[in-house]
Amino acid sequence: MLAMTWIAGSTLFELVVVGSLVGLILAVLALLLIWWIEWRRGRIW
Amino acid sequence: MAQPFLAPGIAWALVVIFSVLWIALGVSWGRKGKGDADDYMLAGRNIGLALSTATLMASWVTGNTTLLAPEFGYRNGLWGMFSYALAGLGLILFAPLALRIKQLMPAGRTSGDFFRLRYGRAAWWVFMVITAIYTLGFLMTQAMGAGILLEALSGFDYRLGMVVVIGVSTIYTLYGGMRAVVGTDFIQSLLIMVLLVVVAVLAFRQFPAPEVHRELVASHPGRLNLLLPAGLLIAWNSALFSMGEVFHNNIWWSRVFASRPSVVFRSFVFGGLAWMTVPVVTGSIGLVALAQAIELPQVNMVFPVVASQLLGAGGAAMVFVVVFASLTSTLDSLLASTADLVAEDVVFKLLNPQLSDAELKRATRLVVIGLGVVTLALSWPRLDSLASVLFFTGALVASTIWPVAYGLYWRSANRVAAIAAMVAGSVCGLLAYTLIAPYCAALISAAVSALVMAVGTQLWPESFSWHILKEG
């Protein structure tokens, strides 16, 4: 059987690594920003 | 026993600091609000976007996400990471349903309320059996995971580690109810995310991504293959398994009822997207270990090994905190939402409908204690293979996806078809698990359940009155 192969290139690999890290950092910042806005408006709970 | 990654003294100090913090905050937050049963079970039904998103994130980041996802990356490469990350689809795809639930059941408390009111008592029993098996398995894997992980990380005795994690989660859930769970989840999710970023950034500073890629191409090119057929199959199974978990389980339904209507949809989408980055980040740590040929005593310890080898004692301490926060944040959610389900659906609606509000709150608290004790008792004998056994529940939970979706959107959804869909889906999924492969179970179960639900509803349509759900 012919094995299907598509090896991810260096750029794509870096994109996955850096992209997931940037996504995680943005999630932390967004969560803190939303919390701060809601806290100022007294809308946390 | 292998040498622990962290000195027991440091591990004890971390356990004491975070245990005191969680209990103090949990008890303090539990004093807020009106103090009635609804407040205890659902945190006042008005939590905002920040807490709602964070509690979804924290509950979905289990001990497995921080330790199994790197193993997936190590063993299966990019597709291993992606397939684990696709479990976040369960949260994202549940977002529109969550909004619909909030609109249809403004006074609802549990997913059991939905099955009972929408499909009747017989369907409720089938749902309860499925959710009981899944929830007990989930509780036990988290409890046993706590014992095994703390032993490997810090040299704690298996039972001591388990008692500490279950004890702490039970105490603050007992005193603070859902407010304690949601509040601590916010801090736990931030801790997990920030520490993961720190570990990953430091690891890739030492071994930059191009260097890791070069090594993988030379020694393990298969890990970078984006057309891995088994990878595609595992990815779809992972997505369907997670949909089954989220669509039926009261952990997620209780978050819907606890959140403000305006934030429900956004919190599930944002929580799912944010969560998806975690297995990719931790999975890439597994690839660093592979590229650098780091020696591993056990492959599921790849994350702590890499962190401690590259970053020393500080790295091991960070992993310990991430794992401790992941375990407590998942266990507290399981304890609170399962106690809500048992108290509301069994004690109140089934056994004693005359229960007063104060008695219902007391019953919920007793169930929290009972669940903590039962989990401890069941997890006392150590079973290292339980995590893989849990995968068979994928066959059960995936069978609930279509009965839930049909029941929320189609007035004509047939109640007998819902029962048949759950039973037939579960049976066929279990057969596929045994006869074909474990990663086919959720796929087959969801497909059979969809077919039964669609045919049954088409041939014998009913006409359900949506206002019945408002009684929930």
The complex's ipTM works out to 0.93
Best of B266, B284, B285, B288 to substitute, by most chain A Cβ atoms within 10 angstroms, is: B284
Q: Which residue of B has its CA nearest to A41?
A: B48
Answer yes or no: is pLDDT of B178 > 90.
Answer: yes
Share of chain B above pLDDT 90, in %: 69
Number of CB pairs < 8 Å for A and B? Answer: 105
Answer yes or no: is pLDDT of B402 > 70.
Answer: yes
Question: Which tens digits make up the pLDDT trace of A10-42?
Answer: 999 999 999 999 999 999 999 999 999 999 999
Answer yes or no: is pLDDT of B459 > 60.
Answer: yes
pTM: 0.94
DSSP conformational letter for B31: T
Question: Which tens digits make up the pLDDT trace of B219-240?
Answer: 999 899 888 777 777 788 788 8
Answer yes or no: is pLDDT of B386 > 70.
Answer: no
- Our CA-based measurement puts residue A24 at a distance from the nearest CA of chain B, in whole angstroms, of 6
Q: Which residues of A touch B185 (CB under 8 A)?
A: none
Answer yes or no: is pLDDT of B45 > 80.
Answer: yes
Per-chain mean pLDDT for chain B:
91
For chain A, helix, strand, coil in percent to 5 are: 70, 0, 30
Which member of B214, B221, B280 has the closest CB to residue A7?
A: B221
SS3 at position B216: helix
- Burial code (b: 16+ CB inside 10 Å, e: under 16) for B408-423 equals beeeebbbbbbbbbbb
What pLDDT is recorded for position A1?
47
Answer yes or no: is pLDDT of A2 > 60.
Answer: no
Question: Which tens digits make up the pLDDT trace of B155-175?
Answer: 889 999 999 999 999 999 999
Instruction: Name every residue whose Cβ is closer than 8 Å to that of residue A5 and which is 6 or more positions away in sequence.
Output: B225, B227
Please compute the mean of the pLDDT values over residues B173-198 and round it to a whole number: 94
Best of B56, B65, B199, B225 to substitute, by most chain A Cβ atoms within 10 angstroms, is: B225
What pLDDT is recorded for position B373?
96
Answer yes or no: is pLDDT of B1 > 90.
Answer: no
Phi, psi of B47 (to 5 degrees): -75, 145
What pLDDT is recorded for position B44?
92
Which member of B33, B260, B281 has the closest CB to residue A21?
A: B281
Please compute the mean of the pLDDT values over residues B32-42 and round it to a whole number: 91
- The structure tokens listed for B284 are 């890439």
Could you tell me the pLDDT band of residue B194, with boundaries at 50, 70 and 90?
Answer: very high
Q: Which residue of A has its CA nearest to B39?
A: A45
**Is A4 in contact with B214 (Cβ distance < 8 A)?**
no
Residue with tokens 């509780």: B139
A1–B contact, CB cutoff 8 A: no
**Is B53 in contact with A31 (Cβ distance < 8 A)?**
yes
DSSP conformational letter for B234: H
Question: Which tens digits make up the pLDDT trace of B3-33?
Answer: 788 888 899 899 999 999 999 999 999 888 8
Restricting to B residues 278-297, those with a Cβ less than 8 Å away from any Cβ of A are: 278, 280-281, 284
Q: Which of B370, B28, B37, B366 is nearest to B184 (CA)?
A: B28
The Cα B33–Cα B181 span in angstroms is 14
Q: Which residues of B touch A17 (CB under 8 A)?
A: 204, 209, 212, 284
Answer yes or no: is pLDDT of B471 > 80.
Answer: no
Restricting to B residues 54-93, those with a Cβ less than 8 Å away from any Cβ of A are: 54, 57, 78, 81
Does residue B180 contact residue B25 with C-beta atoms inside 8 Å? yes
The Cα B300–Cα B448 span in angstroms is 34
Could you tell me the pLDDT band of residue B410, with boundaries at 50, 70 and 90?
Answer: very high
